[in-house]
Amino acid sequence: MRKILFILFCLSPFLFVAQSKKLWLKQADDFFAKKDYASALQYYKKVLDDSVVFTETVKPYEIQLTNLKTKDYKDTAAVAKGTATTINKHHYVVHQMAVCYFKIHDYENEIVQLKKSVSLGSYPNDRYFYAKSLMNTKRYAEAIDVYEDFMKDNPGKDSLLNRAQHEISGCYYALDSLNNNHKTIVVRKMDTLVFNKGTSSFAAVYWGSNEKLIFTSARHGGVLTNREKQAPEESDYLCDLYWTEQKDEQWTKPHNFGRPLNSGYHDGAGAMDADEIMYFTRWNDAIRNESAIHMARGKDGHFFEAIKLDQTINLPNYKSAHPFVTFDGSIMYFSSNMPGGQGGMDIWYTKLDADGLPGPVKNLGAPINTSGDEVTPYFHTITSTLFFSSDGHSGLGGLDVFKSHFNVDDETYATPLNVGRPVNSERDDAYYILDRIQKKGYFSSDREPCVGGHCYDIYEFDNEEILIDLSGTVSDLATGDPIPNALVTMKDVHGEDEPLYLQTDEKGFYSTPLPIGKEYFMKAQKLRYLAAMANQTTVGITETTHLVQNFDLDKMPEGEIVIEGVEYDLNKTNLRPKSKEVLNKVYDLMMQNENLVIELNAHTDTRGSDAANMKLSQGRAQSCVDYLIGKGIAKERLIAKGYGETKPLVSDAEIAKMSSNDDKEIGHQKNRRTAFTIIGESPIHIIVKEVDHSGDKK
């Protein structure tokens, strides 16, 4: 009996440790299932090393955004929990720790853990995530090799293989510094007194002007500090909405919006419209798979109780976040993983009614959204450009900022472009905003992550100078020869600016600088040529751009030009409605060539008396002239001339030889025609502002 007791006594420490580790593993898995990855990580560590103490705190980075599901991280060879060997349990814990580091975006520790998991070999997909972590720590060349090894060892098609190919493209993009290094953009991390104080700060957005900003921060002094005697340090890990304004080039002490706008939950990523309605995101760490957009009405910076927007925006068990509202309060953009998207978090929009409430939502679709995550939308109205962050387009690693011009005419978005370094980095870069004239802006980044967590800081940037110029040549359409001294007129289609007049040099060349955000109607003219028209726009341009617009001018036609389709009732001069539609083309020609004088003539067939036909043709020609004068053409530019039957295209002798009555009628119809002849052109009397090729006006 003593012997048995002695053996049990000797074994009890081992039994205790084994039971503890089993309990810790269960607790870790429970936290993992609840998506509390930071807590799960601590228990997984204890399973491997019971000397580990709980020293890490969950940092209030953001709502969980990643679209890579935990199942993607699982072993396809399957190490089933509960039936695994001791070694495989070790593999499982190493793997789970890597997942936790991935979920909290602690890339350095994730790399270490993934390298261990890859070497153990039980989880083939960990090779992909190892490459992803290398990419997110700027080790692009290494990442390419690991991605290629992963693809080689996993032939076939699945989501991770497609992603691997996509990420390789991103690595090559990152290595090509010519594509993404804008050296003239100056980036500065904002100070720690106002903006980057506490454990996390992000989502700066303008409030009415460039001198007033709303932002989100978790710091000492939040709404929990003086609430129900809770410990002051609790506010250090709870996101609240703040605002500050710039006075004498200095940002004032930040103001917490306080209750009831801020709550005992995370409140952030807010945007304000002109009527002082705040739209913001509220989320709870205890419910990791949900976040919702709320709205609160305010006056003079003080807000009433917020309401959660309805299921149009906030579908249960899904995330909706990052609202941005146009200043006029008409449209709200936001991100959500609700059904109907491309996958993961997508950019959506909705039109807001007069009360600020949303209508039906619409997914922006491709090319904006991808199977990855697209978040933090910002629409720059002046340039009609959508800025957003994505890990689904080729980038430098993590979330990158992209831009896409919106064409208001056909309501389509251009292929998104990566804004490049130094705004983007190998980490997450988001919440990009830009001032009206594109000189300065702000974004949030975790390029300097906090220890053991993932924390955004707010950065300010001075944009590179945006220069736009337009040049081109004016040439003869038939010969291709340059046309010197041609006039190129540029008119602001909105009438805000005076017309710009340019003159081509001896090589037919012209050029001029242009401002941002303008739409132009262009016309090239030269005596003895018909004018040519074009349209150009600088709306949506967000970087230095050289525009080209060439013109090919057609020589002035000689002789009579038949106007096909002008019809009259029998023996009458009244124009039929269809004839007016045809004459509108002549009107367009006269408007485009304002120096032309034309003779508008009418002809009859040879049937009937000469006098009657002459009178009829003169009346018909005058009807055409009267119609054009009524539309605004100066009467001195138009001459009505009736020729009766004096100028037939088909003679009576030719008609007499025709075998059928139908053919004869066709011959008579050719003679019954309306036409015009250019009989003169006045000089183009315009004061020309010559522009030299350097862009300086003379």
Residue 306 confidence (pLDDT): 93
| Residue in 392, 368, 388, 367 with CA at minimum distance from that of residue 378 | 388
Q: Identify the residue whose tokens are 């019954």.
A: 672
418, pLDDT greater than 70: yes
Residue 225 confidence (pLDDT): 62
Residue 224 confidence (pLDDT): 78
Question: Is the bond preceding 422 in cis, omega lying within 30 degrees of 0?
Answer: yes
Percentage of residues in the chain having pLDDT higher than 70: 85
The DSSP bridge pattern shows strands 638-642 and 307-308 to be: unpaired
Residue 174 confidence (pLDDT): 83
The DSSP bridge pattern shows strands 545-548 and 468-476 to be: parallel
Q: How far apart are CA 150 and CA 129, in angstroms?
A: 10
| Residue in 351, 281, 367, 355 with CA at minimum distance from that of residue 312 | 351
Cβ-contact 84, 110 below 8 angstroms: no
Q: How far is CA 685 from CA 2, 169, 624, 698, in A?
A: 122, 57, 28, 19
Q: Strand, coil or helix: what is 697?
A: strand
Cβ-contact 593, 610 below 8 angstroms: no
Task: Calculate mean pLDDT across residues 102-131.
Answer: 86
Please, what sign has the CA dihedral across residues 493, 499, 505, 510?
negative
Report the predicted TM-score, pTM, of the whole model to 2 decimal places.
0.70
Class of residue 529 by CB neighbours under 10 A (exposed 0-12, middle 13-18, buried 19+): buried
Class of residue 386 by CB neighbours under 10 A (exposed 0-12, middle 13-18, buried 19+): buried
User: What phi and psi values does residue 195 have, to the nearest 5 degrees?
Assistant: -95, -60
User: What phi and psi values does residue 43 have, to the nearest 5 degrees?
Assistant: -75, -35
Give the full edge-to-edge strand order of the sheet including 561-562. 561-562, 674-681, 596-602, 638-642
Residue 453 confidence (pLDDT): 45
Residue 682 confidence (pLDDT): 79
Cβ-contact 472, 510 below 8 angstroms: yes
Q: How far apart are CA 400 and CA 597, in angstroms?
A: 59
Cβ-contact 456, 427 below 8 angstroms: no
693, pLDDT greater than 50: no
DSSP 650: S
Tokens of 587: 């009107």
Residue 366 confidence (pLDDT): 92
516 pLDDT tier (thresholds 50, 70, 90): confident
Of the two residues 74 and 283, the one the predictor is more confident about is 283
Residue 238 confidence (pLDDT): 87
Q: How far apart are CA 359 and CA 24, in angstroms?
A: 48
Cβ-contact 645, 613 below 8 angstroms: yes
Residue 295 confidence (pLDDT): 95
Q: How far apart are CA 440 and CA 86, in angstroms?
A: 57
Which residues make beta-bridge pairs with 623?
Answer: none
Please, what sign has the CA dihedral across residues 109, 112, 118, 122?
negative
Cβ-contact 476, 661 below 8 angstroms: no
Residue 483 confidence (pLDDT): 96
- Average confidence score pLDDT of the chain: 83
Q: How far apart are CA 29 and CA 86, in angstroms?
A: 17
Cβ-contact 260, 303 below 8 angstroms: yes
178, pLDDT greater than 80: no
For 419-429, what is each residue's pLDDT tens digit? 988 999 888 89
Which residues make beta-bridge pairs with 519?
Answer: 537
Q: How far is CA 241 from CA 262, 281, 446, in A?
A: 7, 10, 19
Residue 2 confidence (pLDDT): 45
Question: Is the bond preceding 416 in cis, omega lying within 30 degrees of 0?
Answer: no
Query: Structural domains in the chain?
Result: 2-142 (1.25.40), 180-462 (2.115.10.20), 468-555 (2.60.40.1120), 561-681 (3.30.1330.60)
Cβ-contact 271, 324 below 8 angstroms: yes
Question: CB pairs under 8 A, 24+ apart, for 660-668?
Answer: 668/605, 668/606, 668/607
Amino acid making up residue 436? R
Residue 179 confidence (pLDDT): 59
136 pLDDT tier (thresholds 50, 70, 90): confident
Residue 368 confidence (pLDDT): 96
HSE-CB for 131 with a 13 A CA cutoff: 25
669, pLDDT greater than 80: no
The residue length of the chain stands at 698
Cβ-contact 561, 676 below 8 angstroms: yes
340, pLDDT greater than 50: yes
Task: Calculate mean pLDDT across residues 78-91.
Answer: 54
Please enumerate in sequence order all residues whose Cβ is within 8 A of that of 419, keeping only pairs 6 or more positions apart, or say none: 182, 387, 400, 401, 402, 403, 432
Q: Strand, coil or helix: what is 601?
A: strand
Q: How far apart are CA 66 and CA 103, in angstroms?
A: 8
Q: How far is CA 466 from CA 11, 29, 435, 440, 660, in A?
A: 75, 53, 13, 12, 71
Cβ-contact 541, 508 below 8 angstroms: no
DSSP 449: P
Q: How far apart are CA 64 and CA 289, in angstroms?
A: 8
Task: Calculate mean pLDDT across residues 29-55.
Answer: 76
53 pLDDT tier (thresholds 50, 70, 90): very low
For 306-328, what is each residue's pLDDT tens digit? 999 999 999 998 999 999 999 88
Question: CB pairs under 8 A, 24+ apart, for 218-223?
Answer: 218/60, 221/256, 222/256, 222/262, 223/256, 223/258, 223/259, 223/262, 223/263, 223/264
| Residue in 190, 185, 261, 257 with CA at minimum distance from that of residue 221 | 257
Which residues make beta-bridge pairs with 331?
Answer: 351
DSSP 171: H
695 pLDDT tier (thresholds 50, 70, 90): very low
User: Among 18-27, 623-632, 681-690, which stretch is predicted with the lowest mean pLDDT?
Assistant: 681-690
Which residues make beta-bridge pairs with 255?
Answer: 243
Residue 451 confidence (pLDDT): 56
